[in-house]
Structure 1
Amino acid sequence: MSDTQDSIDAVYEEIQKISTHKDNVAETIKTMAATSQETAAACEEVSASTDEQLRAIQSVTDSAETLTELSEELSQTVNQFKV
């Protein structure tokens, strides 16, 4: 009977260890999920910032093109008055 009790105790201890490991794994998975969500949110912020910068660059490009056109028009107009 003592051998049976020892076996039951050993199995119980192993079950406790497995339960502890299971809890640790579950906690690690929760931490990883939270980190993944934070990373996804940061990526969305970077994407939004990149889009905003792209729009700003496009605006500067458009303004530069307009300025070039106006400069050419001004140059042509000034050339009309040269003697």
Structure 2
Amino acid sequence: MHWLRGQPYIPVQLVVFLQKGSTHAQLGRELQAYSELQYRELVTRSERLLALVQPVLLGVVAVMVVGAYLTLLLPMYQNLQEVYHD
């Protein structure tokens, strides 16, 4: 089990579960509970990250819409000014 602790991709919690010496059924229940907790933590972190990223993306989309508006309508506006000034 010592080599298992040295593996960078295996969390310490899993090593603890395996070292406890539980029966296969008990180990299965513990790992199932652990996986559910990890999933909840993943969802929570994802939601926090989305809460930060979403306003930035909405700002980018707003800038793109305004840019498209100006690109399309400014030339028409300038053409209309030339017509009225002549």
Deviations 1:24-51 (A, max 9, x none): 2201221132123323433332221111
**Residue type matched to 1:39 in 2?**
L
- How far residue 22 of structure 1 moved from its aligned partner, in angstroms, is 0.4
Aligned twin of 1:43: 54
CA RMSD of aligned residues (A): 2.5
Aligned twin of 1:21: 32
Decide which structure has the larger Cα Rg and report it: 1
TM-score (ref. length: structure 2):
0.51
Moved more, 12-21 or 50-59: 12-21
- Pairing 1:52–2:63 present: yes
**Residue type matched to 2:66 in 1?**
R
Q: 2:37 aligns to what SS in structure 1? A: helix
Which structure has the higher relative contact order (CA within 8 Å, separation 6+)? Answer: 2
**Residue type matched to 2:41 in 1?**
K
Q: How far apart in 1 are the matches of 2:52 and 2:32?
A: 30
Query: Which runs of 5 or more structure 2 residues have no equivalent in the other structure?
Result: 1-21
Return the structure number with greater helix share: 1
Q: How far apart in 2 are the matches of 1:66 and 1:17?
A: 70
* Seq. identity, %: 2
Q: How many residues matched?
A: 64
